[in-house]
Amino acid sequence: MVLTTNILAAWKFDGDLTDETGTYDATNSGTTTDTSIKILGSASRRYDGTNDKVGLPSTMLDSLGTFSISAWFYLDDDPSGGGNADRATIWHRKKATSTADDSFIWVENSASTGNVNWLRARLSTTGGAAIGFGSTTITTTAWHHVLAVYDGSNFKLYLDGNTTPEISLSNTGNTGTSPGFNTLGAREDGSSGFYSWWDGSIDDVTMWTDAKTTGDVTSLWNSGAGLAYPFGSGAVEINKINNVLISDTDKVYS
Ligand SMILES: [Ca+2]
Ligand SMILES: [Ca+2]
């Protein structure tokens, strides 16, 4: 697979919440544009850790047998406070109204389970649900990258360019239908409202309808510098010099 194919949506968060494909613009709820803490482009989305979130179109991930999600994330502080406050949500989607049917990617800092800022993920499909922890401590005040890939039999999360999955879960089936919750930066359980807020920034989130590869992990990480949508910047444009278009009349051969 290549990154330029099967793009479902791409949010660059360079000052707004528009989807670069023009289909799935996100909805802001409290987040702000941060032009200083960013990984790609001119800005990221900033979350206050209290009540900020970004709403994604609820049905956009429905009934997919494969998909991939790429996101850059930056935590200001360790999630703390006990219970759901020990979890900082990057992405959350609910397959049905039951709390048992949610899917998520979050950072969990739970003393009770001995975890210190580990990635945790859950995927609920028509075939069932699976959940698991990573084992790498997510440092604060630094940018990290996750690529989550569901290939129809496994949900694998790759952290910071490592081609060995940080988390690997066994799932089958498709993503089913969502009753209305698909969110960046908070979790919704269907009865208690939103919680497990993100505290920091999230930047350049992209979703695909296919399963990306370990080669794509390396490309997106790009030695920590990242690769921005439309992911073609590494390609040589043979009709440009220093990004200035040249015409036939510009040719100089000596
Ligand atoms: Ca950006
Ligand atoms: Ca707020």
**What tens digit of pLDDT does each residue of 7-50 get?**
999 999 999 999 999 999 999 999 999 999 999 999 999 999 99
- pTM (2 d.p.): 0.90
Q: Which CATH number fits domain 7-249: 3.40.50.720, 1.10.3480.10, 2.60.120.200, 1.10.3720.10?
A: 2.60.120.200
pLDDT for residue 252: 46
Which ligand is closest to the CA of 43, given by its number?
Answer: 1
Pairing mode, strands 167-170 and 244-245:
unpaired
* Distance of CA 155 from the midpoint of ligand 1 (Å): 26
Which ligand is closest to the CA of 32, given by its number?
Answer: 2
Residues 123-150: what's their mean pLDDT?
96
* DSSP letter string, 104-145: EEEEE--GGGT-SSEEEEEEEETTEEEEEE--S---SSSEEE
Which ligand is closest to the CA of 206, given by its number?
Answer: 1
Q: Are 71 and 87 in contact (CB under 8 A)?
A: no
pLDDT for residue 97: 65
Residues 238-250: what's their mean pLDDT?
47
Which ligand is closest to the CA of 51, given by its number?
Answer: 2
* Distance of CA 50 from the midpoint of ligand 2 (Å): 6
Asked which of 26-30, 88-92, 174-178, 201-205 is least confident by mean pLDDT, the reply is 174-178
**71 against 233, higher pLDDT:** 71
CA angle 10, 13, 18 (to 5 degrees): 60
**236 against 83, higher pLDDT:** 83
* Distance of CA 98 from the midpoint of ligand 2 (Å): 27
pLDDT for residue 41: 98
Residue of 54, 107, 51, 47 whose CA lies nearest to 80: 107
The stretches of the chain forming alpha helices (DSSP H) are: 214-221
Asked which of 44-48, 52-56, 142-146, 247-251 is least confident by mean pLDDT, the reply is 247-251
Residues 112-116: what's their mean pLDDT?
74
Local confidence band at 98 (pLDDT 50, 70, 90 cut-offs): low
Tokens 């399963």 belong to 211
Quick check: 5 pLDDT over 50? Answer: yes
pLDDT for residue 1: 56
Local confidence band at 114 (pLDDT 50, 70, 90 cut-offs): confident
* Distance of CA 137 from the midpoint of ligand 2 (Å): 27
* Distance of CA 186 from the midpoint of ligand 1 (Å): 19
Quick check: 236 pLDDT over 50? Answer: no
Pairing mode, strands 44-48 and 32-34:
antiparallel
CA torsion 21-96-122-229 (nearest 10°) is 0
* Distance of CA 17 from the midpoint of ligand 1 (Å): 10
Which ligand is closest to the CA of 28, given by its number?
Answer: 2
